[in-house]
Every structure is written in structure tokens, then in C-alpha cells.
Amino acid sequence: MMQTPLLMKSLLERAEKLFPNKEVVSRTANGLLRYTYREYGQRTRRLSSVLASLGVERGDRVATFAWNSHRHLEAYFAIPSMGAVLHTVNIRLFPEQIAYIVNHAEDKVMLIDEDLVPLIEGIQDKLPTVLAYIIMSDKAELPATTLQPAYSYEALLQTGDPSFEYPDDLDENAPMGMCYTSATTGNPKGVVYSHRGIVLHSYAVGLVDTIGMSESDTVLPIVPMFHANAWGQPFAAVWYGSKQVLPGPQPNPHILLDLMEQEQVTLAAAVPTIWLSVAKLLDEHPRDLKLRAVLCGGSAAPRALIQTYEEKYNIPFVHAYGMTETSPLATFARLKSYQRNLSKDEILDYRAKQGFLVPGLDMRVVGDRGDVAWNGEEMGELLLRGPWIASEYYRDERTRDAFKNGWLHTGDVATIDPEGFIKLVDRTKDLVKSGGEWISSMDLENALMAHPAVFEATVVGIPHPKWYERPLAFVTLKDAFKSKVDKQELIEFLRPHFAKWWLPDDVVFIDEIPKTSVGKFLKRALRDQYASHFKPN
């Protein structure tokens, strides 16, 4: 067989040649912008030529600091297609962390959304490697900024070459992108993606047994483009010629629902907290939606949430698992054909698991005594390997702990059932260690979120004088139930489903559960704040 390299530029070229009239829709500060993949390709090539004239060479890192927009999408292909490395920086990190990762990646140029410029101005004297700041605004005039040297994206693009040629001789194993992922302690860890890995991952996005993205889809990547490549959707959508809708700055559930309705979105992907908020609005105002599936991952999708989407709104809900290190798609909770005859409850049980492996990857679940039995009971750490799984952390000695003997050690504890469905029990660090036994915080919070009064719930292990740790639940009630439900009612609701010693020792009602930069529950904040909750006075 031929050894043709798997390169990002061929994804772009396919959209240019086969789908020149398909649309990209981008929500900007000035309304919706629409253009075709023909114009997209030309602007993308202009951007590459501009970056080349600013001195960007193969292997150089170029950072983006941006919302999900057409300009960010241009950077998504302009940077890797020319052989440089697309470094998507998380806009919600603390300034010191941003400075750390820009320095660690040695970014040469930064592309920054206009409204985010002040965040970078505040740390610019700590960014010696950055030689140019390009400000992405709807206008060609450069907005007022103290960044030096600063350029206007649109003005630069006017000078760029719309026919810029991409190199053919890149190595498919060369880096095309990088993304830093949060660590329990210490600085974020850099994950490097190769051309080959992302092309193969983009194939996976198109498989009917995953999410089956196709030309006929209208795709709305809600998950940020600075987080695990928006789960690879923008790359795949360009390749398949799918219409894309990019939700722009500060998207909220109202904006997302408007976009889904107006643009007839068929496929949208987000973390569970977003789907929870969207459901809340859908309850208030039904919409005319054409969604053929919503993709949900990043944290465990509560069973009740899956049920709501499927039974109440008639929208198929696809639960998936992955991590920044895995590009990210790794498992999908899809039923096998012969499982469709199971009872509703059994089906929901499967759908609420993280699912089974995407073709192309290998998996093990390893406990104290080696690989666990596939009985849905024995727990162990999930190990993954495959062509779109990272092989190291970029220049980081934590590589040694996570990448061993060719396997990524995910830090996620799971069981695996006879059908090969994995069920995440917890992240190792979130398991509640009570009296020498483990309690799954994830199981408790999913069960709590099935209570009709509960909007969001999370459970954390809090130090306990006798048991080492005990579970403490935090609950946000739906508006209509505020002050109408007490701790006892929630504990009684859990009681039939858990051993007595699993039940939370206390329930704290709060207005909002703190979230991480990508909308996951920020357990660490609660753990710190309530560290002495079970301590004797």
C-alpha cells in the first residue's frame, strides 16, 4: 500500500474542493457572520502567509486565546497546515498559569480575541518568547492596546496571500497542536497532538457507531476550542464539509438554544452542566429543534439527564468519555443491536456508563492483582493506548507517572462489564476513602441528580476524625423547590440504592456549585472550603 502521510492540510483541501459552498456561521459581537468554505480556505491561507512573513517556521508554536469563532477556526487549520503548532490556550486559567504555559510552550505569536486582550496585557512582561500579538476583532483598525508589537488580524489578512501553498513534505508524526490540561497539583501539563493522530481521530468522529458526523450535519461545537480541540469537531466538520455554527464570545444557554433553533443544528457537544442548563430553559420555552443527537462528556452524564433528553425532548443523548490526552474521544455509551430489547431501566443503566472503546484504541482496567475481570464489579485504573493517545507530557517529568510501558494511565478508576462497557467509578483523587473502603462520589451525585427537586449535585470526601474521610453532598435546588426540600428527604431518596455507610453524612444547600474553566464541578474548592466540616470543635 502507499505510504501517503496523514496531514491536516488534506482535511482543509477537501473542504475547499468538494464543499466550497457549504457554510460556516460565526456569532460575533456584531451579529452572525456567514461565509462559505471557499472563503474560509482563502482566509485560512492568507493567515498562514501572514504568519510566515512574521517569521513563523515549521515546529514553531502559535498560541490562540479565543472563543469559538470563525477566526479561531481559521487558526485551527492555518497553523498546522503550514507546519507550525496550534497551541490553544485556556482563556479561563489564572494569569500565572497562562504565563506558565505560554512560556513552557515557547509560543512565538499569539492570536487574541479583542475582548480577552486585557488578560494578556496584564502579563505581557512575563511573556518573553512572544514576538507578535495579533488581535482578532471585527474591525480592521487595531484596538487600543499596550501589547507590543500588536497587529490587527483583519488588516494583516488583507495583505495575505489567498493562494498560499502548503508544504507536502511534513512528517505525519510531527506535532500539529498542543493543549495544556489541569493537574491535581502543580502546573498544567502539555499534551502534544500529531497530524497523524488528529487525522485518525477525525475518522473516528465520522463513524456511525460513535457520533457519525457527516456532510449532512450542522455542527455546533459548544465545548470550547481551547479545551481538547473542542473534542475534535471543528477538524472533522471541515473534512466532512459539515456546516458549522460557532457560538462566539460568552455563550449562554439562551444564545445556544437560539443558534440551535435558527441554524437547525443537528449535532451539538457539551459537558453535562451545559446540558442541564439548556434543559432548564427548554422546560420553560419549548423550541423547534432539529437535533439528531447531543454529545455529552467531560464528566459523568447523570442518568436522569439522559432520560430527560430522550423521553421528554425526544433528542438522542450520546454519552462519551475522553480526556485531553486522548484527543479526546475514547469510549461511547452506545447500545449494541441486541441490547435494544432490554427494559428501559437496563438500557438507561448502559447509557449512563461511559461505554465501550472506539475502534482503533486498546484498553485495560488494572487493579491491585492485574487486569480485572469483566464482571462490572472489580475496580481498577483505566489504561489506554492507540494512535490518538498522547505518548508523553511535553517536557515534563510527570510523564513518568502517567505513561508506562506504552500505556496511558488515565487516573480514572473504572469497572468493566461482560459487554465491555466501562463504568467510571471516580477519578482516583475524587474517591472518598472511608474507613479503608472506597465510596464513589460519582455514583452518589448521579443518584442525587435524579431527585426531581435537584438541579445540580456534587459529593466530595471531607477529612473525618474517625473514618479518614466521609462523603459530604452539595446540592443546588431547582427554583420551584428552593427551601422546600431538606437534607433528610434527599438522604431517604438515596437510601434504597446504597449501602448505609455510603450515604453522605451531611447535605449542604448552596446557590451554585463552583465550576472549573470548562464547566465541570470544581470539587477542590468545596473540599478546601469545607475541610473542617466533620472536625470536632
Q: Which residues carry out catalysis?
A: 181, 325, 433, 438
Cross-strand partners of 393 = 191
Query: Counting contacts by CB under 6 A, is residue 519 touching ligand ADP?
Result: no
Query: Counting contacts by CB under 6 A, is residue 77 touching ligand ADP?
Result: no
Query: Counting contacts by CB under 6 A, is residue 49 touching ligand ADP?
Result: no
Q: Give, in order, the Cα–Cα distances in Å from 44 to each of 24, 77, 157, 414.
A: 13, 7, 9, 42
For ligand ADP, which stretch binds (CB under 6 A), given 306-314, 315-323, 401-409, 454-462? 315-323
C-alpha cell at 143: 484596538
Please state, in angstroms and rounded to a whole number, the distance separating the CA atoms of residues 124 and 193: 27
For residues 107 and 412, which CB has a smaller minimum distance to ligand ADP in the complex?
A: 412
Is residue 237 classed as helix, strand or coil in its secondary structure? helix
DSSP string of 186-234?
Answer: SS-EEEEEEHHHHHHHHHHHH-TTTT---TT-EEEE-S-TTSHHHHTHH
With CB under 6 A as the contact rule, the residue among 48, 266, 354, 415 that binds ligand ADP is 354
Query: Counting contacts by CB under 6 A, is residue 297 touching ligand ADP?
Result: yes
Q: Minimal CA–CA distance to 293: which of 315, 312, 276, 308? A: 315
For ligand ADP, which stretch binds (CB under 6 A), given 285-293, 320-328, 444-452, 454-462? 320-328
DSSP string of 448-512?
Answer: HTTSTTEEEEEEEEEEETTTEEEEEEEEEE-GGGTTT--HHHHHHHHGGGS-GGGS-SEEEE-S-
Minimum distance of ligand ADP from residue 219's CB (angstroms): 19
C-alpha cell at 471: 462523603
Query: Counting contacts by CB under 6 A, is residue 460 touching ligand ADP?
Result: no
Query: Counting contacts by CB under 6 A, is residue 298 touching ligand ADP?
Result: yes
Minimum distance of ligand ADP from residue 205's CB (angstroms): 16
Please state, in angstroms and rounded to a whole number, the distance separating the CA atoms of residues 238 and 408: 29
Query: Counting contacts by CB under 6 A, is residue 228 touching ligand ADP?
Result: yes
Query: Counting contacts by CB under 6 A, is residue 210 touching ligand ADP?
Result: no
Minimum distance of ligand ADP from residue 99's CB (angstroms): 18
Residue 312: CB atoms within 10 A of its CB come to 12
Query: Counting contacts by CB under 6 A, is residue 321 touching ligand ADP?
Result: yes
For residues 323 and 363, which CB has a smaller minimum distance to ligand ADP in the complex?
A: 323
Query: Counting contacts by CB under 6 A, is residue 324 touching ligand ADP?
Result: yes
For residues 478 and 520, which CB has a smaller minimum distance to ligand ADP in the complex?
A: 520
Query: Counting contacts by CB under 6 A, is residue 181 touching ligand ADP?
Result: yes
For residues 109 and 526, which CB has a smaller minimum distance to ligand ADP in the complex?
A: 526
Please state, in angstroms and rounded to a whole number, the distance separating the CA atoms of residues 245 and 257: 12
Query: Counting contacts by CB under 6 A, is residue 274 touching ligand ADP?
Result: no
For ligand ADP, which stretch binds (CB under 6 A), given 119-127, 156-164, 239-247, 314-322? 314-322
Angle at which helices 70-81 and 233-240 pack, to 10 degrees?
Answer: 80
Minimum distance of ligand ADP from residue 42's CB (angstroms): 33
With CB under 6 A as the contact rule, the residue among 42, 64, 194, 299 that binds ligand ADP is 299
For residues 26 and 88, which CB has a smaller minimum distance to ligand ADP in the complex?
A: 88
Query: Counting contacts by CB under 6 A, is residue 221 touching ligand ADP?
Result: no
Angle at which helices 272-284 and 253-262 pack, to 10 degrees?
Answer: 70
Angle at which helices 195-206 and 8-18 pack, to 10 degrees?
Answer: 50
C-alpha cell at 299: 464528566
| Binding track over 363-402 against ligand ADP, x by CB under 6 A | ----------------------------------------
For residues 74 and 443, which CB has a smaller minimum distance to ligand ADP in the complex?
A: 443
Q: How many residues bind ligand ADP (CB under 6 A)?
A: 18
CB 88 within 8 A of CB 41: no
Q: Give the residues lining the site for ligand ADP (CB under 6 A).
A: 181-182, 228, 297-300, 319, 321-324, 354, 410, 412, 424, 427, 520
